[in-house]
Structure 1
Amino acid sequence: MVQMLCYLLECLLAEENTPPDCPKELYELYFVFAAVWAFGGSMFRDQLVDYRVEFSKWWVAEFKTIKFPSQGTVFDFYIDPETKKFEPWSKLIPQFEFDPEMPLQACLVPTTETVRVRYFMDRLLERRRPVMLVGNAGTGKSVLVGDKLCSLDTDAYVVKKVPFNYYTTSAMLQGTTGPSCR
């Protein structure tokens, strides 16, 4: 979690977000945003408790310097690069256009969650930091990563897809990748 905090700070404290003459409160704003996601971003909802909601309540009660909007949780907002204020992730959802030529399982319908995940993937990959998505089957992890990989500049990146499942072993992976990748 501390490593992720450092990675997110590296991504967020870029000169376009925090120019040299910016007030120190802006650094604190980005630090709080990074800390919320580094420490609470991997929390989930089980059958009894929504741990993100519990984390959000705890955060708002303990850390009062940076005020989040009162509706929703601390995870429902991002920092708008222009206004430097919290805005709902829903403002970033692009209009969906259905392509009848594309298989349905390959379609990525933008939602608040996909916009959030894509935001962090974009920032981390810009800084050449690792990304690993974890979640239940059928939540769109592969489609989201596939969409990102397809959008990468082919002059700068080489993409090799190696499918994994519950039965994949390290020996199977080594056999798939060939000698050039070892």
Structure 2
Amino acid sequence: MTIVPPAAAPPQRLIVGISGASGIIYGVRLLEALRRVGIETHLVMSRSAEITLAHESDLKIADVRALASVVHAHADIAASIASGSFRTMGMIVAPCSVRSMSEIATGVTSNLLTRAADVVLKERRRLVLMVRETPFHTGHLRTMVALSEMGAIIAPPVPALHPRPQTIEALVDHTVGRVLDLFGIETDLVKRWKEAD
């Protein structure tokens, strides 16, 4: 009888995609939180994300890149994260544009961000898409259903108000903490319902 050892746990390594949708602060705060808890991050930003950064933040592209363990060019389809043999815990796209979501859903990818997400899906790893659009039309919703059926988690950054956030940062942090909960990553960002203050 052959004894098959259990599969090794995946490395504490997470891919972070930042698309050009509004809400780039989610991706930035995600990188900051992962850095604090010692998770290796592989960042890929779309060109549109770089433009959005200039509109929504005083941060420079170099500031965001400095938060990641490894940075990949969005056009580098030969990057490590484009291969299923490169083991990760999965990927979060924060924020996720409807265009990126649609490419991931069809598997017709045009850049490293959507290719890496497609790889995460095919390898049956966790993919979380913080889809940033409202309102959604029926085509958007059908695409989300298709992705959910493929195993992705659709997690629009809907603010939780029960923690009574006093700042935008607190609002963002709670959402980021809840997304990291999906990977079993504990942070101090979440004020949990009914837990003691």
Say which structure is richer in helix: 1
* Greater RCO structure (CA 8 Å; 6+ sep): 2
Query: Highest CA radius of gyration, 1 or 2?
Result: 1
Say which structure is richer in strand: 2
TM-score (norm. length: structure 2): 0.27
TM-score (norm. length: structure 1): 0.29
